[in-house]
Amino acid sequence: MLKRTIFGGLIALAMSAPLANPVWAQGYPQRPIRIILPFPPGSSGDLMMRLLSQRMSDVFKQSIIIDNRSGGAGIAAADIVAKGLPDGYTLFFTGINHVTNVGLYSKLPFDVERDFAAVSLVGAVPGVLVAYPGTGFKTVKDLIDAAKAKPRGLNFGSAGNGTGGHLSMEMFMRATGITLTHVPYKGATFALTDVVAGQVQVLFTGLPPTLSLIKDGRLNALVVSGAKRAPTLPNTPSMGDIGLSKSDVQIWFGLVTRAGTPKDILNQVSSLVARLLREPEIIDKMAIQGIDTVGSTPEEFEQTIRRDLDRLPRLIRESGIKAE
């Protein structure tokens, strides 16, 4: 009788005590993890995640399935995660378009703040404002003076409406009080080709594909994004150097997942990602793709997302930028 009473009391106590984590969150991961990408195979984002996922698989001792769902500005890919289970087995490797889509589209099938949980900021691509040498622009001041003397008389190219380079230039124009005419292209390669040929005067784009052109004198580098100078262009001022760090647009890539995923899982994945991003081999291989590795806590990445949600969709709407 005494044993039965004690046993019954233990069961009652166990049932009344709150669980720290759901049972299915313990021992994560116990099966393959699916990572959805809104990028096509062979793209920088795809190569970056495949490199990282290989090491994640080694450590987790589980398969990592890369699921490319490119097209549609990444909206369909994001919706799969937004409507999935909050169990940490479906991750979304996305970029800054995760935020800019909020401004580009009047209606999305999900809420970026409500339906997603930040996991880790993985990497960032440094940007550079370049000019066709025939313009004579060698400094930011040269560009500003010419633009003020002839409003809308100069053109700037971009990889497309609402892309990082486009928004970087919009922020730059607002901060400096100049107005240039936007010429959108169907990709950064086309825009870069035309600025080298002098069809457009300036372009804000990723630093890596411009380096050889800058060193060969086929492009003039005016300023690089970020608070600090780029090691590969030590003589080119940064946005921080010219007092425009608050007007900078960081082109980032990161992992998010379904909102409601247990905190322990978010921390486990983010901790692993941060550790792997400190490995020299991964740093070197991502550098070849022009990516600066970051690694962050979920809270730090959430701050980055919220910062850009507070300013970029508003910039898009106020500038009258429309999705192509």
133 shares its domain with 220: yes
Rounded CA-CA distance 156/130 in Å is: 10
Asked if the structure places residue 41 within a domain, the reply is yes
Asked if the structure places residue 196 within a domain, the reply is yes
Q: In the beta sheet, which residues pair with residue 90?
A: 34
49 shares its domain with 98: yes
Q: What would the mean pLDDT of 12-26 be, rounded to a whole number?
A: 41
Which of the four pLDDT bands, split at 50, 70 and 90, describes residue 11? Answer: very low
| Structure letter (DSSP) for residue 238 | B
| Chosen domain end from 207, 224, 241 | 224
Q: What is the mean pLDDT of the chain?
A: 89
Give the CATH number of the domain where residue 284 resides.
Answer: 3.40.190.150
| Chosen domain end from 184, 207, 224 | 224
158 shares its domain with 110: no
148 shares its domain with 120: no
Residue 48 belongs to domain spanning: 33-124+250-318
Asked if the structure places residue 82 within a domain, the reply is yes
Rounded CA-CA distance 306/252 in Å is: 13
Measured N-to-C along each axis, helices 298-318 and 263-276 cross at an angle, to the nearest 10 degrees, of: 90
Which of the four pLDDT bands, split at 50, 70 and 90, describes residue 26? Answer: low
65 shares its domain with 200: no
Sheet strand arrangement including 90-95: 64-68, 33-37, 90-95, 251-258, 116-125, 292-293
Count of C-beta atoms within a 10 Å radius of residue 129: 25
217 shares its domain with 132: yes
Is the pLDDT assigned to residue 20 strictly greater than 90? Answer: no
Asked if the structure places residue 2 within a domain, the reply is no
Residue 189 host element (H or E): helix 188-196
Asked if the structure places residue 23 within a domain, the reply is no
Nearest to 278 by CA among 265, 266, 294, 267: 294
Give per-residue pLDDT as tens, 234-262. Answer: 999 999 999 998 888 888 999 999 999 99
Written as six digits, the tokens of 51 are: 């490199």
Which of the four pLDDT bands, split at 50, 70 and 90, describes residue 8? Answer: very low
55 shares its domain with 137: no
Please tell me the total number of residues recorded for the chain in this structure: 324
Give per-residue pLDDT as tens, 133-172. Answer: 999 999 999 999 999 999 889 999 998 899 999 999 999 9
197 shares its domain with 255: no
- pLDDT given at position 246: 81
Give per-residue pLDDT as tens, 79-91. Answer: 999 999 999 999 9
Query: Total structural domains in the chain?
Result: 2
Nearest to 185 by CA among 203, 210, 168: 203
- pLDDT given at position 209: 87
Give per-residue pLDDT as tens, 36-76. Answer: 999 888 887 888 899 999 999 999 999 999 999 988 889 99
| Chosen domain end from 224, 239, 260 | 224
Which burial class, exposed, middle or buried, applies to 208 when counting CB atoms under 10 A from its CB (0-12, 13-18, 19+)? middle
Give per-residue pLDDT as tens, 265-277. Answer: 999 999 999 999 9
Give the CATH number of the domain where residue 195 resides.
Answer: 3.40.190.10
Greater confidence (13 vs 222) lies with 222
Rounded CA-CA distance 38/71 in Å is: 7
Greater confidence (20 vs 209) lies with 209
Is the pLDDT assigned to residue 311 strictly greater than 70? Answer: yes
Nearest to 72 by CA among 42, 44, 36, 120: 36
Residue-wise burial string across 266-299, b where 16 or more C-beta atoms lie within 10 A, e elsewhere = bebbbebbbebbeeeebeebbeebbbbbbbbbbe
Nearest to 206 by CA among 291, 97, 127, 123: 127
157 shares its domain with 204: yes
